[in-house]
A and B are shown apart, each in its own frame.
Chain A
Amino acid sequence: MELISSSIVSLTVFLPLIFGLVLLAMPADTEAGKKLLKTAALAFSLVVFLVSLGLYGRFDASYVGFQFVESIPWIESFGISYSVGVDGISLWLIILTTFLTPIVILGSWTAVEDKLKTYYFLILALETGMLGAFVALDVILFYVFWEAMLIPMYLLIGVWGGKDRIYASMKFFLYTLVGSLLMLIAIFYVMSQYKAQFGNYSSAILELYKVKTAFDGFWSPQTLLFLAFALAFAIKVPLFPLHTWLPDAHVQAPTAGSVILAGVLLKLGGYGFIRFAFPMFPQAVQYTAPVFIALGSIAIVYGAWVAMIQPDIKKLVAYSSVSHMGYVMIGLFSLNHLAVAGSVYQMLNHGISTGGLFLIVGMIYERRHTREISEFGGITRIMPIFAVIFMIVTLSSVALPGTNGFVGEFLILLGVYQVHKVWAIVAGTGVIFGAVYMLWMFQRVMFGPIRNEENKNLKDLSLREIIVMAPIVVAIFVMGVFPNIFISKMDTSIKAFLAQINV
């Protein structure tokens, strides 16, 4: 027990990978074997979720700094160490990850039938990669997880994806790679600066925060370094105009891939800004903030407009991601306490509600093998349970008060308004457009007469599908009605984060 409690973070991170390797060793040739494999994958991911709840249980909300820290030297000549730890911001992102993984495993129960072993292995390996990136307190360790995570996602899209899966997976990989390689050079620059200022190498982020890089307008090291980091993270978020890989990847990915991509991978972009880019280059952040707020607001409105005209439900949800992540960006760059808290909250919300929407799209696609909005209409009458759940998730996505989406967007807009009134108003119109495209889509799919004969025999949700959606519905309401459960745990960390920047 001593060992478990002293290395609970590592345990959470590497358990999925170990379980994944166990899955690879299981026989899966017979029907019974396949069923066992799926059950084992589900059980394993639930174990990981429970372990991560252990983190929640022991987390001390009043403590400033990182908790459960583990640090082992890794490559000593460059001061690189395996050091991990959790604060109030990463805690929730970890739980989001471990929460969504069992859901997507159960969600792909019938959707994926071939190469099962590799499929579930990749999902669990991806979980390790994402968790590792969230807990890494060493910038090189973070980079390793950040890049390594691309591989399983790339294969998930490329092997189990739709028609243009190869193009989409390639675009996803290359976009991310270009951004991260420039970040790598920036990391080296900062490490060399650290060496020059302190006499030894280190890549621990708490050490790198101390590095003072020269700042003097745009063409100064600090601004350029910040932009190199920002490029990597903005591609991941994705921030307009670097978002073009997202619709391709989302539409082609299998449902589980889309859910994880939207639910967790995009959050890594926002998290990267919070953990690395902002505290390391505070002056550059303040200098460039207006540009990023403008881009974020454009992303909100543009994403909403483009989503409005999509004929394909999945593509609509993908563009809604661009719009929703725009809120996260303006919230972060406003550097206002309320808005930053709202941004972190919005990241969790988006993971829940967009993840839920992708699951819903997946369910309807499994039944009809199409996602064209025009193919549907009047589904409410045939699938009442589905209709209720779909409605709840849709309302969460349009940020109706009482759902989680409201809390995040409200905090962000309130915070941004205090600093940048004009952009807050522009972003505020995004809320209206958001309601327009989501509700209009919902109306065309669910209400009206049944126009298509094929839709008449659709089956309502099975018990498994209800179990998949139930945690999401519960999370939507809990997060909407009791936001304090979440914000109380993260607030100390957010204050500490802001204190680092406003030096």
Chain B
Amino acid sequence: MEEFIKPQNLSLSPQQLSVLMPYLVVMTGGLITLLLGVFRKAVNMTVPVAAFSVLTMVLAAYSLFLVWGEPTVSLFNDMMVVDNFSNLFNLIFIVATGLVIVGSNQYLVREGIEHFEYYSLMLFSCLGMMFMASAKDLIVLFIALEIMSIAVYVLVGFKRADTRSNEAALKYFILGGLASAILLYGVALLYGATGSMNIQALAAAVQAGAASNLLFVLGAALVTGGLLFKVATVPFHMWMPDVYQGAPTTVTAFMTTGLKAAAFAAFVRFFMNLGYGADLSSTLYSGLYKVLWVSAIATMLIGNIIALTQKNIKRMLAYSSIAHTGYLIVAILCGGRSEYGYSSVLVYMAGYVVMNIGAFAVVAMLSEKNDRHTNIEDYAGLGFKKPLTGLAMTIFMFSMAGVPPTVGFAGKYLIFLSAVQAGEVLLAVLSVLCSAISAYYYLRVIVFMYMKDPVPGRAMNHTLAPAFVIGISAVITMQLGLFPSVLIEAAKKAAMMF
């Protein structure tokens, strides 16, 4: 009988330990924030905990920097892997979480929810995301997904006294649980069909002809469905606008960026390892191809069209987030057959995270208690009343619309180029037309900011920390838009791993 537990796989070599450092830092940080919170009877611990969380993120970024560019390291009996791909995604998660945490405190105080658990949950969720990007085994993937999601279920309902927040949390919890169950069922079927949950072993099984096995196909379909649910493609998008609108704005920023990026990280790793893309001849791949093709078009079209009619900016950004998911699905669809592979997913995701956090930071900063003043018309006159904030929001909006020279254009550039290279000209044309639709609702924000007169008495207060986040995001959006080479090279290295 084969020996399952190998002692040599239970101890960590120094190299393995060093690549695990970012994960350990975030985990330890999360645990310490919990311990620090114990002292809340004596002093208000929110600000110290927030500061400590930021410190954790800085340390995590530093430890990531130390292992940046190291060769691939396999961990825990090949259940997990740290490579350029996971490193780049980890950087995205750390930057996203860090920026959201910096911008959160003022919002929490205003809403009267300044509890230290907020920060612990953010850190744990971030840890889950990091594991998701490096999971090589479907069961690790599932556990990582749950670590990430459970923390966020709580965060969504963090405004305990607010019915919308409660509704959002419940909705998200039930539907998220359903998605997890679907995913897990798919994993079980795949295990039944192949006897393994390791992605590489699955790929080998596909090579050996497992794709003709009905059990395998069903399992693959359920896993894909679960992932599509997590990234909220049409028709699995129904939960998203309500959740995004009901959740505290800072949590929404976290969800649209970190969570989405993590789901895509898992998605891409799954697809890349299965060797999808290069060859569409088998039933499995051509089936997947059709599903993704239809889902990409539907997601872009429905996301953009419904966003046109939104009056609330959080809801508008939620639908726009659905539309952006559509572009990312296009990237996944075409990645395997284009020269730079899946690097377009990474570039787009990185850009989207930065501009989206910036936009939500503006929304969070300018809203008032109980999320008042989050309608687009509440931005009337912002551009001339607060020129810098107006400028930053303008940058974010143009970037989301994909207008050069912003990072949004760099991302769209790669996606559309890869679509053309993959021979998907029709898909590329439909995507750009959808992106032209999207320009309308992004421009509407600018219309209100610059072309309407301000409402008298509207304060538009500014506070330091969110303004800092907005500034940083705006600078990165422009910087990566004007000089995208750094990002493109990093993404290329990350995506060429497979």
Contacts and interface: CB of A to CB of B under 8 A. Distances in A.
B451 A147 contact: no
A163 to B, nearest CB: 12
B4 to A, nearest CB: 44
B416 A174 contact: no
Nearest to A201: B339
Nearest to B343: A77
A143 B488 contact: no
Interface residues of A, number: 35
Contact of B447 (A118, A170, A174): A170
Nearest to A190: B420
B404 A144 contact: yes
A75 B484 CA distance: 7
B420 A189 contact: yes
Interface string B409-449: 10001001100110001001100110110011001001100
Contact of A77 (B403, B416, B447, B485): B485
Contact of A173 (B439, B451, B488): B439
A425 interface: no
A195 B339 contact: yes
B327 interface: no
Interface string A161-172: 000011001100
Contacts of A487: none
Given A177-B439, A185-B428, A75 B485 contact: yes
Contacts of B404: 143-144, 147-148
A352 B446 CA distance: 32
Interface string A149-162: 01100110011000
Contact of A185 (B340, B416, B489): B416
Contact of B416 (A78, A144, A178, A184): A184
Contacts of A191: 417
Contact of B403 (A74, A150, A159, A182): A150
A75 B410 CA distance: 10
A181 B420 contact: no
B450 interface: yes
A159 B488 contact: no
Contact of B436 (A75, A169, A178): A178
Interface residue tally of chain B, by bracket?
Answer: 20 to 34
A77 B425 CA distance: 22
B450 to A, nearest CB: 5
A303 to B, nearest CB: 27
A188 interface: yes
B384 A182 contact: no
Contacts of B409: 144, 147
A136 B425 CA distance: 26
Contacts of B432: 181-182, 184-185
A115 interface: yes
Contacts of B421: 188, 192
A29 interface: no
A314 to B, nearest CB: 20
B488 to A, nearest CB: 6
Query: Is chain A's interface secondary structure helix, strand, loop, or mixed overall?
Result: helix
A453 interface: no
A31 to B, nearest CB: 19
Given A158-B450, A181-B432, A192 B417 contact: yes
Given A77-B489, A191-B417, A192-B417, A181 B447 contact: no
A115 B383 CA distance: 11
B267 interface: no
A289 B8 CA distance: 74
B405 interface: yes
Interface in B368-416: 384, 387, 398, 403-405, 409, 413, 416
Contacts of A454: none
A2 interface: no
Q: Give the one of B420, B425, B488 with max A CB within 10 A.
A: B420
Nearest to B422: A192
A165 B451 contact: yes
B74 to A, nearest CB: 28
A147 to B, nearest CB: 5
Interface of A: 74-78, 115, 118, 140, 143-144, 147-148, 150-151, 154-155, 158-159, 165-166, 169-170, 173-174, 177-178, 181-182, 184-185, 188-189, 191-192, 195
Nearest first, the 4 A-B pairs at minimum CB distance are A181-B432, A188-B420, A144-B404, A158-B451
Given A155-B450, A184-B416, A185-B420, 15 more contacts: A75-B488, A77-B488, A118-B384, A144-B405, A144-B409, A154-B443, A165-B451, A170-B443, A178-B433, A185-B425, A188-B417, A188-B420, A191-B417, A192-B420, A195-B339
